[in-house]
Amino acid sequence: MGTLNDFRMETRAWLEENCPESMRGPAAVGEEDMIGGGKKQVYKNPDAKVWLDRMAARGWTAPMWPTEYGGGGLSKDEYLILQDEMIRLNARSPIGGMGFSMIGPTLLDYGTEEQKREHLPKIVSGEIRWCQGYSEPGAGSDLAGLQTKCEDAGDYFLVNGQKIWTSGAQYADWIFTLVRTDPQAPKHEGISFVLIDMDQPGVTVRPIKLISGSSPFCETFFDNARVEKQNLVGQINRGWTVGKRLLQHERSSISGLNSGGRRGRYDGMRGLTDVAKEYVGLADGKLADATLRGEILVNEMNQRAFGLTQQRAMAESESGGTPTFATSFFKYYGSETGKTRLELQLKAMGTQSLGWEGDMFSDEEKTLTRTWLRSKSSTIAGGSSEIQLNIVAKRVLGLPD
C-alpha cells in the first residue's frame, strides 16, 4: 500500500507542476475539444502541445501499454490512481482517438512484434493519427457483408472499394480496414484486417457535410490503394476475429469501461440535478417540478449504479483490459442512459438548451446544446443499440438465434 501511496503523491506533484493551467477544465466552445494528434493536427492553444509532449514522454498518454512500445507500463492500480489525480486537478486528457482506444490495444492483442514496434510508439507520441474503415454503404450493422476488395499483387496487396462514416478520416494518417480477400468463402471467413497508409494516390477522402456545417465523418475511397504485406494483421481470411476484438475495445472506450467508469463523455459538465435546480428552481427545498424530479432521480441513480458496475468490472479484470462480449452491455446501457440524461436536461432548461450562437446563450448552454444533439449518434456509432442487444442475447445470455 505504501508504494501505491508514494505513487499517488509523486503523480499528484508531477501533474500539478506539469499540467498547464489552460489544460485544466473543459475546452471552450469553438476550441477543438479533443486533440487527436497526427501530422495534420493544428494546436490552436500551444499549451495543448506542451501538455501532450510532457505526458507522452512519460508514456502516460497510453499509461498501461508496455514501456518497450512507448507506454507508461503502469499496473491497473497505478493507472486508476493516475486517472483519479487527473480528475482531481480537472486535467484534460492530453490526446485521444482511435489509435489509443482501438488499433493500439488490438495490435497488442494480435499484432506481430514488428507491427507493435512500428505503430505503437507513434500513437503514444501523437505523431500518427488513425481512423476506422469498417462501415460501407451496404454494410453497417451487417458488417460481415463488406465488399471492399483486397487482392494479392505479389509483394503487396491492392485494395479497391469504398468505406463510409469514417470519423476523422480527413485528419488521419493511417486507416485500419476490414477487406474481402476471398469472395467465394462464407462471408465471415473471407475477410482480412489490413493497415493502410492514407498518404498515397490510391486513397481519397471526401468529408460529409452535416446541417451544422461540420464534417465529423467522411467517405473514403480506395482505388488500387497499395498495402505492404507486413500490414496484414492476423492471418489472411481470419480478419473477422481481429475485427471483432477491435469492436470490443471500441465499445469499452465509448462506455468509459476502460477507465473503470472514471472518465467519460460528460467530464467537465455540471451534474443534471445542479443544472435542473438552476433552471427549474426549488419549492420547499426540492426541485419545483415533481414529475421532472422523479425522472431525474431515476436517471441519477441509474448513472451512479452504472458507474459502480463499471468500477466492479474493472476491479474484476486482472489486467484492467475489459474486452469481452459483455462490453456490449456497457456500450448499450451507457449510451442509452446518457441520451436520457440529456433529454431530461432539455426538459429542465427549456429553450435555453437550444442555443447555437449569440449572446442570449452562455458558453455552457451552447456546449450543452451540442452535447445533446451529438448524444443522438451515441446509440448508432460503434454498433447500434439493437446490435448490442443481439450480441448480449446470443453471446452473453446464450439465447437461440
Catalytically active residues, by annotation:
250
Instruction: Give the three cell numbers for residue 90.
Output: 480537472
Instruction: Give the three cell numbers for residue 127.
Output: 505523431
Would you say 86 or 98 has its CB closer to ligand FAD? 98
* Residue window 202-221: x/- pattern of binding to ligand FAD, with contact defined by CB under 6 A: ---------------x----
As a whole number of angstroms, the distance between CA 334 and CA 86 comes to: 22
108 Cβ neighbours under 8 A, 6+ residues apart: 65, 66, 69, 116, 120
Instruction: Give the three cell numbers for residue 116.
Output: 507493435
Contacting ligand FAD (CB under 6 A), which of 51, 110, 157, 165? 165
Q: How far is the CB of 378 from ligand FAD (least distance, A)?
A: 8
Give the binding range for ligand FAD (CB under 6 A) out of 164-172, 221-229, 261-269, 290-298: 164-172
Would you say 137 or 281 has its CB closer to ligand FAD? 137
Contacting ligand FAD (CB under 6 A), which of 317, 377, 393, 396? 377
Dihedral angle of Cα 202, 110, 61, 167, to the nearest 10 degrees = 40
Would you say 15 or 203 has its CB closer to ligand FAD? 203
The label of the residue with cell 461540420 reads 214
Give the binding range for ligand FAD (CB under 6 A) out of 113-121, 165-173, 207-215, 330-338: 165-173
Would you say 177 or 322 has its CB closer to ligand FAD? 177
Q: Which residue is nearest to ligand FAD (CB)?
A: 140
Give the binding range for ligand FAD (CB under 6 A) out of 24-32, 160-168, 203-211, 255-263: 160-168
Binding of residue 223 to ligand FAD (CB under 6 A): no
Give the binding range for ligand FAD (CB under 6 A) out of 77-85, 128-136, 232-240, 314-322: 128-136
Q: How far is the CB of 142 from ligand FAD (least distance, A)?
A: 6
As a whole number of angstroms, the distance between CA 128 and CA 122 comes to: 6
Contacting ligand FAD (CB under 6 A), which of 101, 135, 328, 375? 135
In the complex, the residues that contact ligand FAD under the rule CB under 6 A are: 131-135, 140-141, 165-167, 217, 377, 380-381, 383-384, 386-387, 390
